[in-house]
Amino acid sequence: MGRKKIVGYVRVSLEKQVEGYSIDGQVDEIKKTAQFKDFDIKEIYKEEGKSGKSVEGRPEFQRMLKDISESGDIDYVVVFKLSRFGRNILDVLNSLEYIRRYGVELYTIEDGIDTSTASGKLLVPVLGAVAEIERENILAQTMLGRNRKAQAGGWNGGFAPYGYVLVDGKLEVVESQAEQVRKIYSLFLDEGKGYTTIARWLNSHNMKREWTKNSHNRKFDDWTCSMVKTILDNPLYTGRIAYGRRRTRKVKGTKNEYHLEKQDDYILSEDIVHTALVTDEQFEAAKKKRRETGRKGNPKIGRERAHLLSGILKCPDCGSSMFSDKNSWTNADGIYRETFSYTCGHYKRSGKGGSCRRNGVPAEKVEEEVLSFTKKLLNNPEFAKDIKSRIGQSVDLSELDAEIEIFNKQIAKVEKQIRNVERDIYEIVDEDRHAERKRTALKKQQDKFYDELDRLEEQLEEAKGRKEAASKEALTIETIYKMLMCFDKIYDKLNDKEKRDLIQSMVEEVQLYTQEERQDRDNYVKSITYSFPVSDKVLTGLRDKCVHVETVVMLSHKKPDSVINVKVEFGEGEGKVPLDNIAKRAEAYKPKERVTYKMIKEYIEAKYGFKVHTAYIAKVKRELGLPMHDAPNAVEELKQPRKHPTAEKAEAIKDALKYFGITKRSDYKRR
């Protein structure tokens, strides 16, 4: 019998690790074990600075899995300890199941696990669960320590709020900024001004916002209503330390997705530990007033109209997103009038005296320009050819979605780094003669991570604000094709919300001419960036009045599979395109096409996220009493029939049959 061929996998979360967990330490242990067991090492995959919480974000681990699937001559994956393979029990078991499909077993040195044996198979889930519980306990104990520190007035990291600067872990006043903070409270409490009015007052009185360490947008130095609200909402201005105002919560229905939630029951130190800029009475009065006068929203004001281009129109001066504005009045004869326009979003937040002007454009006119040009484009036969030839090809995310994804990954990385430092602090024993020095060094490192986390969170929120309602969820190219080809016929039959969702899913952004550039023009639109592929040949005959179309990827300049992914979530709700309604209306204008098993399977995978076998579809069709003349022979006469489809898959198949018009809900046979 030949030598067993193995690959090693080593991982550390931070550069500083206890002895035995360093990269070199783990590699040495794997080499010693290989020599003792007479293993033949093919490769050792090294993962530095990565958490074991999940497989995502571990490129070397993923590369190892890929090599295992392609190699065919690997017997073992060897790791120093099971926690190096993964600390999330679900990921450990999933990864183990994956490698075992290719005849590869797992061997852990310190735990003594060999999954090729019966005892090894039993130990994996037990030790994996222990590692996960240990990790959660460390986090819980660390959070308890941070809460106690905050109660005692200790700074737990992060950027200093506006008006202060951090000096050796203490907040010290920046008087020029502190004067602005006090003025904001005075305008809010004594003069009864609102957030936007306060921002405009500061800007018009030349009280420019100073750049601080965590200033994420240095393009503007004016105040906005959100900045004013942030200051009125921060209890640190009373001289006390606040901690836990935001908590990370797991997104339900996901494995490893988290989001921040604002907390009302945060920790507030009892003693005043730094110079207060406002009194307790002022902060509580502001808090009470904000609760009483907080905007509830009047559903009548501008809500009955669909603002098709909100968020995707760009200000011609500063580049900010433009949003809808309403002007209403009652004539002398008692007739109510109203007009709608789009104005610069930054101007709306900062007002007169800010860095930009209103730049208002009439909503109906600019919307009509965009719709008119879009219909011309979609009616062009060359464009139809371009779309149809690319059905089924993968597409890229929009630039803004990619930006948000990068921020999320960076935040997740920093959060993991913070948790790893917390674990390292917890693992330092008091008997260690360098214990205090180690804790101090690690806490400084942790403070830097918290500073970075605050910066990234600010940038993420700013990016989400720019994205606004331009959310796009996954759609197959085939569905896009059917939707686009019938656009001009079905658009007028949609309700206002459907119109807005459809336009926002198709158009990336619309650039406008400046007020000065419009002096000699009749149109407002300068360029339109669509979220679907358009070739230069299609656009040649469509350019009119200097309007041109830019696509994120021009097919004539890229490889055939370089197209743009338009993502629209199936179903009803905010930011979702109701595809069932659109598809029904589209079918009314298109001849019925022969529905294939492939089409049914693609529909189910796109909508439900899982695959179904052709045999399952055939079985459901038989149960419904549908004709089987289109079923392949292999389905008709299975020598070894598969198991019955699960209830979930059966319902998905029935939904697909209904979607393609093969059956109706009332036709379902109940057995």
Which residue shows structure tokens 């308890």? Answer: 144
Q: How confident is the model at residue 347 (pLDDT cuts 50, 70, 90)?
A: confident
The model's pLDDT over 361-397, given as tens digits with 9 standing for 90+, comes to 888 888 888 888 777 777 766 666 666 555 444 343 4
How many other CB atoms are there within 10 angstroms of residue 522's CB atom?
8
Same domain as 552, residue 526: yes
Q: Is 470 exposed, middle or buried (0-12, 13-18, 19+ CB in 10 A)?
A: buried
Spatial distance between the Cα atoms of 135 and 146, rounded to a whole number of angstroms: 17
In a domain, 407, yes or no: no
Give me the phi and psi of 454, to 5 degrees please. -60, -40
The model's pLDDT over 420-453, given as tens digits with 9 standing for 90+, comes to 887 888 777 777 788 888 888 888 887 788 778 8
Same domain as 218, residue 134: no
Q: If you average pLDDT over residues 195-217, what whole number do you get?
A: 74
In a domain, 403, yes or no: no
**Whether the Cβ atoms of residue 23 and residue 10 lie closer than 8 Å to each other:** yes
Least confident range from 103-107, 203-207, 468-472, 530-534: namely 468-472
Q: If you average pLDDT over residues 99-104, what whole number do you get?
A: 87
Give, as one character, the DSSP assignment of residue 153. Answer: T
pLDDT at 666 over 70: no
Tokens of 324: 């809808």
Give me the phi and psi of 365, to 5 degrees please. -70, -45
**pTM score, whole prediction:** 0.35
In a domain, 159, yes or no: no
In a domain, 418, yes or no: yes
Spatial distance between the Cα atoms of 82 and 87, rounded to a whole number of angstroms: 8
Return the pLDDT at 560: 30
Same domain as 509, residue 382: yes
Same domain as 557, residue 482: yes
Return the pLDDT at 249: 64
In a domain, 115, yes or no: yes
Spatial distance between the Cα atoms of 616 and 80, rounded to a whole number of angstroms: 44
Query: Residues 40-58, buried b or exposed e (16+ Cβ, 10 A)?
Result: ebeebbebeebbbbbbebb
Domain that holds residue 215: 164-293
Give, as one character, the DSSP assignment of residue 18. Answer: -
Q: Is 93 exposed, middle or buried (0-12, 13-18, 19+ CB in 10 A)?
A: middle
The model's pLDDT over 595-617, given as tens digits with 9 standing for 90+, comes to 777 788 878 887 777 888 877 88
Domain count, the chain: 5
Same domain as 178, residue 81: no
Q: Domain holding 173: CATH number?
A: 3.90.1750.20
Give me the phi and psi of 338, to 5 degrees please. -155, 145
> Which residues have C-beta within 8 Å of that of residue 292, sequence separation ≥ 6?
none
The model's pLDDT over 223-278, given as tens digits with 9 standing for 90+, comes to 777 788 888 888 888 888 776 666 666 666 655 555 566 666 666 777 788 888 98
> Which residues have C-beta within 8 Å of that of residue 319, sequence separation ≥ 6?
none
Spatial distance between the Cα atoms of 448 and 495, rounded to a whole number of angstroms: 51
CA angle 438, 440, 441 (to 5 degrees): 65
Same domain as 13, residue 41: yes
Same domain as 268, residue 252: yes
Tokens of 549: 């179309």
> Where does 111-221 have alpha helices with state H?
118-151, 175-189, 195-204
CA neighbor of 389 nearest in space, from 555, 601, 598: 555
Return the pLDDT at 258: 57
Same domain as 496, residue 378: yes
Same domain as 362, residue 481: yes
Same domain as 495, residue 544: yes
**Whether the Cβ atoms of residue 337 and residue 331 lie closer than 8 Å to each other:** yes
Same domain as 370, residue 347: yes
3-state SS string over 246-286?
Answer: EEEEECCCCCCCEEEEECCCCEECCCCCCCCCCCHHHHHHH
Paired with 330 in beta bridges are 336
Q: How far is CA 114 from CA 10, 68, 617, in A?
A: 17, 18, 41
Spatial distance between the Cα atoms of 138 and 419, rounded to a whole number of angstroms: 9
Q: How far is CA 401 from CA 420, 474, 510, in A?
A: 29, 12, 17
Same domain as 536, residue 500: yes
- Write down which residue in 147, 172, 189 finishes a domain: 147
Q: If you average pLDDT over residues 162-166, what whole number do you get?
A: 86
CA angle 152, 158, 160 (to 5 degrees): 85
Paired with 48 in beta bridges are 12
Which residue shows structure tokens 């093919």? Answer: 42
In a domain, 157, yes or no: no
> Which residues have C-beta within 8 Å of that of residue 21, sequence separation ≥ 6?
12, 80
In a domain, 154, yes or no: no
Spatial distance between the Cα atoms of 413 and 453, rounded to a whole number of angstroms: 9
Express as a percent the part of the chain with pLDDT over 70.
62
